[in-house]
Structure 1
Amino acid sequence: MAIDVHAHVLLPEIEEAVAGHPGLAEAQGLDARRNGSAALAVNGPMVGARVPKLTDVTVRLAAMDAAGVDVQLVSPSPGHYHYWAEHQLADRICQLANEGTAAHCAKAPDRLQGLGLIPLQHPSLTPKLLDHALEQGLKGVEISSHAPGRELSDPAYEPLWARAEETGALIFLHPFGCTLDERLDRWYLSNTVGQPTENAVALSHLIFSGVLDRHPGLKLIAAHGGGYLPTHIGRSDHAWRARPDARDCAHPPSSYLKRLYFDSLVHDPYVLRELIRAAGPDRVLLGSDFPFDMGTEDPLGALRTADLPDHDFHAIRGGNAAVLLDLA
């Protein structure tokens, strides 16, 4: 099977739930400042044109067939995170996301698997809502690279990592927004530079803080090939060897890449081969970012351009994901 682990669903019921709430306008203003007016002018029509693929299972399956994809792991659009939401609303958003994604996937259960959401801004809610996602038949949850005022290394998330490890739930790391703010507000740098940066920062927090030492069974997939970290991991290894303040993890940072999973969406065959070398061919999974414009409509074609050995090609095409998702 060809299994795409990076595909999204749009859930209008979430946007209906947050409409008019204090904090939404402020969050939208921050997003506007971070992206810039030119990007926002493109984003609206781009997403609008893709609504059928994001919401209609029949349209989704036709697009999958055209791309040669047998199974998608579907996660909510990152715009649904709403990490500004207060406790009660955040709980409601995540329940809607979990139930909505499960209902979408249930329309084609042999082709679609799903991930839910948890509210990183309220760490105390995350284990409960992870369980809620699993109760809906989802494989785990999607998270961003940080919540306001909290990094993924924050001790408040220890119960989340412990519960994810205990249950075998997948954690899909998919950044949304970038903390470099207006420095990236032109030429869509907020995405092209911001997303790989956020991936690298988030993964570095998990590695250097010892989260992966304390939870070696954690199943975490990093979107966008893990951003800049896998191809620049040598600098992290050097810091770990040279500086005592960079040694809170037990082993060189590069060794932890082989405990993580990465999607193949790096837009460059040379970068993909380096990712495979750094993490191992058993740790890379097919990814498309379906159906957004910064993804690819031909993930298998992109994988072929890396000119991999047959064994590695078929492992990344779907063999690795079939094991991870426990698919026959």
Structure 2
Amino acid sequence: MRYIDVFNHFFPRQLWDRMLESEGAARDIGKRMRGIPCIYDLDERLRVMDQFASKNYTQVLSLGMPPLEALGSETEVEEFARLGNDGLAELVRQRPDRFVGFLASLPMNSPNAAKEAERAFSLGANGLQIHTNINGLPLDDERFFPVFEAAARHGRPVFLHPSRAAADLPDYKTETKSLYEIWWTFGWPYETSAAMARLVFSGLMDRLPDLKILAHHLGAMVPFFEGRVGPGWDQLGKRTSDEDYSLVLKRLKKRPLDYFKDFYADTAVFGSEAATRCGLSFYGSDRVLFASDSPFDPERGPGYIRDTIAVLERLELPLTDMEKICFRNAATLLKIADPTL
């Protein structure tokens, strides 16, 4: 078996140094992440990967949190995106034995986001990483359509990464922030699920039928709530009196559940066998890709990689399904040019 880890995070040196030099949020993030060397130190990243040499393990790189658009003005974020995409492209060129591709990040708060997507694709980007809201704006806002259109035109997927902070949406109206990191544990899966729903019901997936979208963390809440997504949303409008949502169902070309089945998903569920079984049951082996979410485990690098591989091996899947999940789906979806595949 071999493993292509499609969702793990790294800041290339050029971007990391620029973040630490900047004022405000970018520098603060850099300081906080100094305790996770694997996210910015290439030698440490390679040392962690060495632990999985026997697994024929490689990575598709993407930037870490937070979203670039949260780090500054349009001009600053455009610079961060250029540095990040140039740096990841360089790593892939220099170490193809370790890094088989990268996901580009964009200055989504800038009108030049689609232009940067085009530039990143010219560098060899295998897809785009986009967060589930853009400084509070939903992804179906028309100003973001050119980014999705560019991805569809180039045949490159969009990977959705959740984004939500403690003060963004309190869990109770009487409070000013989400406590106990509920915003992360339960808030991030909700963020992803809500973004998926907006893309479905806005009709974007009908407008761009060739667009491929992967929802991080095995499709978030969708597999577990299949009954609500399926028979529940087949009755869209029955619970609403101030708008006629039945018109939405008439406009869509397919049943809502069928659109949610069209998403891809990854195995980054922090070593949960129950979640892995649930996600695989919903999406099937053709639409699930191996991912670890390294280096955000308690060991700061190897933990989620090791645990995710162990879960998949315990499932004793048919060899053809295991190969699809672990590397073949990634090679196809991301158009990874590797002669050994």
Q: Normalising by structure 2, report the TM-score.
A: 0.81
User: Which structure dedicates a bigger proportion of its chain to helix?
Assistant: 1
Partner of 1:285: 289
Instruction: State the SS of the aligned residue for 2:221.
Output: coil
User: Judging changes above 3 Å, is the alpha-carbon distance between structure 1 residues 227 and 87 closer, same or farther for their aligned structure 2 residues?
Assistant: same
Offset at residue 129 of structure 1 (A)? 0.6
Distance (Å, rounded) in 1 between the aligned partners of 2:297 and 2:157 = 25
Instruction: State the SS of the aligned residue for 2:184.
Output: helix
Partner of 1:219: 212
Q: Indicate yes or no: 2:19 matched with 1:10.
A: no
Distance (Å, rounded) in 2 between the aligned partners of 1:48 and 1:99 = 22
Distance (Å, rounded) in 2 between the aligned partners of 1:19 and 1:310 = 46
> Which of these residues, 312, 315, 326, is aligned with residue 317 of structure 1?
326
Partner of 1:297: 305
Offset at residue 200 of structure 1 (A)? 0.8
Instruction: State the SS of the aligned residue for 1:291.
Output: coil
Letter in 2 for 1:285: L
Instruction: State the SS of the aligned residue for 1:251.
Output: coil
- Map Cα deviations across residues 224-265 of structure 1 (whole Å, 9 max, x no partner): 112112221321332233425152533222212332211112
User: Judging changes above 3 Å, is the alpha-carbon distance between structure 1 residues 136 and 217 closer, same or farther for their aligned structure 2 residues?
Assistant: same
Letter in 1 for 2:201: F
Instruction: Decide whether the 8 Å contact of 2:156 with 2:334 is kept in 1.
Output: no
- Map Cα deviations across residues 264-310 of structure 1 (whole Å, 9 max, x no partner): 12232222222122222100001101111277131211222334333
Distance (Å, rounded) in 2 between the aligned partners of 1:242 and 1:316 = 33
> Which of these residues, 221, 224, 235, is aligned with residue 241 of structure 1?
235
> Which of these residues, 145, 158, 162, is aligned with residue 149 of structure 2?
162
Instruction: Decide whether the 8 Å contact of 1:257 with 1:278 is kept in 2.
Output: no
- Map Cα deviations across residues 65-118 of structure 1 (whole Å, 9 max, x no partner): 423252211001122524353222221111111111112222311331111211
Letter in 1 for 2:321: D
**Runs of 5+ in structure 2 lacking a partner?**
238-243
Partner of 1:268: 272
Instruction: Decide whether the 8 Å contact of 2:164 with 2:183 is kept in 1.
Output: yes
Instruction: State the SS of the aligned residue for 2:66.
Output: helix
Offset at residue 23 of structure 1 (A)? 6.4
Partner of 1:208: 201
Instruction: State the SS of the aligned residue for 2:84.
Output: helix
Partner of 1:63: 48
Percent identical residues: 28
User: Judging changes above 3 Å, is the alpha-carbon distance between structure 1 residues 82 and 207 closer, same or farther for their aligned structure 2 residues?
Assistant: same
The CA RMSD over aligned residues, in Å, is 2.7
> Which of these residues, 122, 126, 151, is aligned with residue 135 of structure 1?
122
Offset at residue 316 of structure 1 (A)? 0.7
Instruction: State the SS of the aligned residue for 1:217.
Output: coil
Count of aligned positions? 310
Instruction: Decide whether the 8 Å contact of 1:83 with 1:120 is kept in 2.
Output: no
- Map Cα deviations across residues 12-56 of structure 1 (whole Å, 9 max, x no partner): 54355456877639x97xx9xxxxxxxxxxx94xx43431x2234
Offset at residue 167 of structure 1 (A)? 0.5
Instruction: Decide whether the 8 Å contact of 1:270 with 1:306 is kept in 2.
Output: no
Offset at residue 314 of structure 1 (A)? 2.0
Structure-to-structure mapping, 1:54-93, within 5 angstroms:
54-67=39-52, 68-79=55-66, 81-83=68-70, 85-93=72-80
User: Judging changes above 3 Å, is the alpha-carbon distance between structure 1 residues 249 and 230 closer, same or farther for their aligned structure 2 residues?
Assistant: farther
Partner of 1:121: 109
User: Which is worse superposed, 261-270 or 94-103?
Assistant: 261-270
Distance (Å, rounded) in 2 between the aligned partners of 1:82 and 1:18 = 13
Instruction: State the SS of the aligned residue for 1:292.
Output: coil
Letter in 1 for 2:228: R
Q: Normalising by structure 1, report the TM-score.
A: 0.84
Letter in 2 for 1:48: R
Partner of 2:240: none
User: Which is worse superposed, 275-284 or 82-91?
Assistant: 82-91
Distance (Å, rounded) in 2 between the aligned partners of 1:181 and 1:134 = 38
Task: Find the structure with the greater CA-based Rg.
Answer: 2
Distance (Å, rounded) in 2 between the aligned partners of 1:242 and 1:142 = 30
Offset at residue 61 of structure 1 (A)? 3.2
User: Judging changes above 3 Å, is the alpha-carbon distance between structure 1 residues 15 and 281 closer, same or farther for their aligned structure 2 residues?
Assistant: same
Instruction: Decide whether the 8 Å contact of 1:141 with 1:172 is kept in 2.
Output: yes
